[in-house]
Structure 1
Amino acid sequence: MRMLLSQLCLFLLLFCIPPSVYSATMWSDNNKFGMHAASLSDEEITDTAALVNSSGGAWGYITLLLSDGDYDHAKWQNLFDKLRLHKLIPIVRLTTKADGPVWMRPELSGANTAAHFLNSLNWPTRQRYVVLFNEPNHGHEWGGACDPADYASTASVYAKAFKQQSGDFVMMLAGLDQAAPHQPPNYCDAGQFIAGMIKAVPDLFTDIEAWASHSYANPGFEQSPTKRGRSSIRGYEWELSVLNSLGVTKDLPVFITETGWSAKALSQDTIAEYYRYAFEVVWLRDGRVRAVTPFILSYIGEPFQQFSWRRPEGGKSFFPVHEIVKSIAKTKGRPPQLEKASVFTTVPRTLVTNSQYQFQIWLRNDGQTIWDKRDGYEIALGKSLPFDVQFSQLFNVVPGRSSVVTITFSSALYKGQHQMKLVLMKGGVPAVQLASFYLEVVDPPSLGLKATVFPGFNAQGPARLQIFDRAERLVWEKKDVFFQGWFSPNPEDHRSRSG
């Protein structure tokens, strides 16, 4: 039988929807709850997700530390894939190496290396939050001496390096210790430190798009959450006012990457109630606050056991604050994520009327989301067709993996040219335009068959005629065929299936 269906091979490295105009850090459905992690262990991730995504929440935050030189791509990509699975948004704080009790100053030459490494990873969300080091108004955090000019110039170099790699990086300066006295070189007053930064690098905030704050209840990590102003859980308000007074008019969303109370000064029940008040009355009501990642979920031993939410015995045993925060209603976050796909398919270009067809498309997930029917992902038509088309379902297609989708339809009697547009949908909304091609439906061809039997005589008499495809599947059958030299099937009886 002569092949009647020509094949069209479509290889499309497609398509992410053009990015809409949105703030680099703001979207409406945001889950502010987060935690500061002490390690990158699976337990730390799962326990953080169970806490910050509880009570209706999704896509809470986790603050992680990336040490200078810890650039193992497989390790960090595996970590980010786990965060994606658990719906956690990472806030990555850069750190240097310790020289005894002092943290070394970062090398300027390390800026491009760090930026290139973090840009090479497939992050869980489009926004990539990076904090440039830690409390540089402490001398021991900045090579032994607090130096606002040196920190500002270093931070500027790093921020520019990251923004040159990708505009999706959201850069933040280091959180400051608001309670530090002004005793250079050991300590610098936070307000004077901010002023010194801006004086040294007036355009510092060109590449800074959010503000990291360490809003602790000081002095002593024991003050009431009702306290306002500097060195309180509202300390970010004071910091923003200082920035404004120094001419920084940029709207900077606030990420409270550290906060908390000390169990050395307060009972665990008091700490739990303080956190309840802080979230329900202060942070959740303040539109400037985008995330709160208290310090710290788990720390056994000194010096930070006093802040830990996990009991010293470890395991799944937590202090009362854990259950209090877990019970607070949360938002199902919907952070922007990149949707992108590669597509390969062999599509029949010419079809015959009143026939059943089935073919496959191969999809590779090149974006940041996980394609799953349970999250509203499906393949659909971007343009209606006169005949019914059905698609197989998507389940747990993670970035970097592929899935084969089967398309089944009947051409019925709809002759003519028809455009088929394939779209990846999420929650009924187009996410990726996958492919577009034309199908032409024509009348079935005339078919004549001549059969012979050994040793070359024409077949005569009754027979059964069957046609199989390349996969040896039966695609057409006619019984009670009678050969008398030639047999011509009725075109109306024709059925074919393309695999």
Structure 2
Amino acid sequence: MKKAQTLIGSKISTMIFSLTRIKHEVKFFIFLLLFTLHFTLFTSPASAIVDPLSSPNNKFGIHIIGANADEASPAAALVNSSGGDWGYITVLIESKNRDQKAWQKFFDDLRRRHLIPIVRIATEPVSSPISGQAFWKLPYEGEEVAWADFLDSLVWPVKNRYVVIYNEPNHALEWGNKVDAVSYARVLDKTITALKSKNDDFFVLNAGLDASAPNKLPFYQDEVSFTAEMESAVPGIFNRLDGWVSHSYPNPNFAGSPDDYGKGTVWTWEWEREFLEGMGVKKLPIFITETGWKHAEGIKYDSRLPSVELVSRNFKEAFTKCWIDSAIVAVTPFLLTYQEEPFDRFSFKKHTGESQNEKILPAGRDILGVEYPDYYPMYQAIQSLPKVSGRPAQENKADLSRSLVYSTIVAGENYDMSLAFKNTGQSIWNEYDPLELRAIQGGETFNITPVRAAGKIEPGNEVTLNVRLKASEPGKQKLSLQLFAGSKPFDDKIYQYDIEAKSPVALQVFASLPWKKDFSGEYLLKIVSDVMSATAKVILDQNGISAPLEGKYLLPDYNFDFTLYKPFYKPKTVGLKLKPGENKLDFGTLEPDFLSALTNPKEFWRLILGD
């Protein structure tokens, strides 16, 4: 991108970098003389599971500093405007900030706002013990495993997990205070392996290189020789990538014309694509994660730099003439907001003097659908450009967490069976097409209609769907249920059950009382099982026998506990596995409960005398 500078990172490291005017390098055809073709040219657009260009894609994006709603909200309002949806953000994660809960909360917020994250991993800045100058540490041995474990622990908003492996390593300050193409190539190779071994959905991207850097080792190395050394150190390293990151800045001094062409311009991405193809690298989708103009505004006005009005026109021209190639997946200009030097002149947000962690807008002011006086004109300019309503691939995944499905039922009766599904995927259920549970087999036999989930169900949450069924005739049938999103199956899981409809269950209660000859009277029968709990009044005749009781909703072949109650007698419980037809419940003799009768002398003497 530029000499002795990174355009993203901690405040400590960025403050020491200076912005330097960079001269244009030699033309592309000279570069071709440096290489011999080693590989076959591939035409696959991406090696990741999902080609981001195979579905509607909104390439508009923005670079942000803070992983919080204060930046995500105006970012979404910018990139998802004028017909757009599912735009991109580029965001940094430093090694010291591998906080799973915090980043999961941020990713969940991005999902709701329809923002696709491009994550750039970073180490941490340290100061030289000699010069005191800050630089980014080299990754420690095995850090690629720590990154893979952490990034794989997150539920990403979309299927492709875009990860940029560090930043501008052809700058010494970005790579352990010494340019080392061989070292970076090996780290990149190991990190790709670590990520892919965790999950094939990791869409691995190179560190963007500074195309305008001079060849002044060990502090800087031009992109041509740097990539040549990488290829020599790890043959085929670029063919292991899923996409190519370009830092297409309008140099010199980040103030060039959008009409300038080639290396060191807003067209740098195309120059890089051509020399990569010349090396035999497969065609890679392009991610312009850094680009943009310095403007005159900031903490101190600088009349030597372009006005924000000119920068606005430049962005419009670049987006409508330069960055329209179908190979470009995302363009995330640098930078939504930065309120201090040295990046205040790249900031889309006006300088207000507020701290980076304060609210961008006053309390109570809705950021959606309002004007943005807090932003320079390039914000509104990009916001007004027509965009595509993106629809990135998301993983639909449901786990059946609980179910109450009966293996036997009574023919002719209605039953409600509940199935609880947990959203373990990436999509928000019911956000687009309605989520329904449908019978794909046995639906007519059991008179089942589709059951629709209510409301939106985010990843990690559950929804319970109650299926009502009724079998008209006795017999054994198969029931197969499947989730659908609109007209298409939600996933490939089918939930199959064997259900047998049987004849109704009937109960006949038998009981006696000590010292009595007449057992007639009203009793209470409590019925308990894993699937139900109910109570019923039972009338016994003088012989202690009830009339047959129809158990409409008692399930054949299930175990039930039956407890018989009568005032001033101890309750008695019997267990029974029910069968179709008549079932005998013999409680034997109920024992008197003298203790409960002490407060009622009349009943107490009746118990003793058997009256």
1:352 paired residue number:
410
Aligned position for 1:282? 322
Distance in 1 separating the partners of 2:548 and 2:397: 49
Task: Measure, in 2, the Cα distance between the counterparts of 1:469 and 1:321.
Answer: 69
After TM superposition, the structure 1 stretch with the greater mean CA deviation from structure 2, 318-327 or 233-242, is 318-327
The 1:234/1:486 distance shift into structure 2, 3 A limit, reads same
- Which segments of 5 or more consecutive residues in structure 2 lack a partner in the other structure? 1-47, 128-132, 297-304, 355-359, 362-373, 539-543, 557-611
In the TM superposition, residue 206 of structure 1 has moved relative to its aligned partner by: 4.3
- 2:341 pairs with 284, 292, 302, which one? 302
Pick aligned residue for 2:426 from 352, 358, 368: 368
Quote the sequence identity (%).
34
Query: 2: CA distance between counterparts of 1:477 and 1:109?
Result: 72
The superposition leaves residues 404-438 of structure 1 with CA deviations (integer Å, 9 ceiling, x where unpaired) of 22222333x24433332222222331123252112
1:85-109 deviation line (CA, Å, top 9, x unaligned): 2222211111122223322222233
CA deviation profile, 1:272-303 (whole Å, cap 9, x unmatched): 222222223332x3111011111111111211
Alpha-carbon displacement from aligned partner over 1:112-160 (angstroms, at most 9, x marks no partner): 1122221222222221111111111122222223222222122222222
Shift of 1:382: 3.1
How far apart, CA to CA, are the structure 1 residues paired with 2:252 and 2:90? 24
5+ residue gaps, structure 1, are 1-20, 479-483
Determine if the alignment matches structure 1 residue 401 to structure 2 residue 433.
no
CA contact (8 A) 1:173 1:211 kept: yes
- Which 10-residue stretch deviates more, 55-64 or 298-307? 55-64
Q: Paired residue for 1:17?
A: none
Alignment of 1:11-410 (within 5 A): 22-23=49-50, 25-98=52-125, 99=127, 100-248=133-281, 250-264=282-296, 265-283=305-323, 285-313=324-352, 315-316=360-361, 317-343=374-400, 344-372=402-430, 375-383=433-441, 385-386=443-444, 387-391=447-451, 393-410=453-470
Q: Give the whole-Å Cα distance in 2 for the aligned partners of 1:469 and 1:287.
A: 65
* CA deviation string 1:212-257 (max 9, x = no partner): 0001112222223233221222211100111122222x12111110
Which amino acid letter does the alignment assign opposite residue 431 of structure 1? F
RMSD over aligned Cα, in angstroms?
3.3
Distance 2:545 2:199 in 1: 73
Alpha-carbon distance, 1:457 to partner: 4.2
One-letter amino acid of the counterpart of residue 285, structure 2:
P
SS in 1 for 2:469: strand
Give the direction of change, closer, same or farther, for the CA distance of 1:51–1:422 in structure 2 (3 Å limit).
farther
Q: Aligned with 1:436: secondary structure? A: strand
User: How many Å apart are 1:38 and its aligned residue?
Assistant: 0.9
Deviation, structure 1 residue 476: 9.9
Amino acid at match of 2:406: P
TM-score, normalising length: structure 1: 0.84
Cα displacement (A) at 1:354: 2.2
Matches of 1:122 and 1:29, distance apart in 2 = 22
AA aligned to 1:408 is R
For 1:490 and 1:39, locate their aligned partners in 2 and report how far apart those are by CA, in whole Å: 67
2:575 corresponds to: none
Judge which range, 309-318 or 290-299, deviates more: 309-318
Q: Distance in 2 between matches of 1:352 and 1:67?
A: 62
Cα contact 2:96–2:124 (8 A) shared by 1: no
Distance 1:319 1:469, change over 3 A: farther
The AA in structure 2 aligned to 1:347 is: V
Distance 1:69 1:256, change over 3 A: same
Amino acid in structure 1 at the alignment position of 2:331? V
CA distance in 1, matches of 2:415, 2:119: 50
Question: How has the CA–CA distance of structure 1 residues 405 and 23 changed in structure 2, closer, same or farther, with 3 Å as cutoff?
Answer: closer
Q: Which moved more, 1:303-312 or 1:360-369?
A: 360-369
Contact 2:91 2:119 in 1 (8 A): yes
Larger Rg: 2
2:505 touches 2:550 (CA, 8 Å); kept in 1? no
Asked which structure has the greater RCO (Cα within 8 Å, sep 6+), the reply is: 1
Q: TM-score, normalised by structure 2?
A: 0.69
**Distance in 2 between the 1:421 and 1:467 partners?**
34
Counterpart for residue 32 of structure 2: none
Aligned equivalents of 2:206 and 2:213: distance in 1? 17
Q: Distance in 2 between matches of 1:309 and 1:369?
A: 31
Aligned-pair CA distance for 1:376: 2.6
Alpha-carbon separation, structure 2, partners of 1:245 and 1:473: 75
Displacement after TM superposition at 1:384 (Å): 5.6
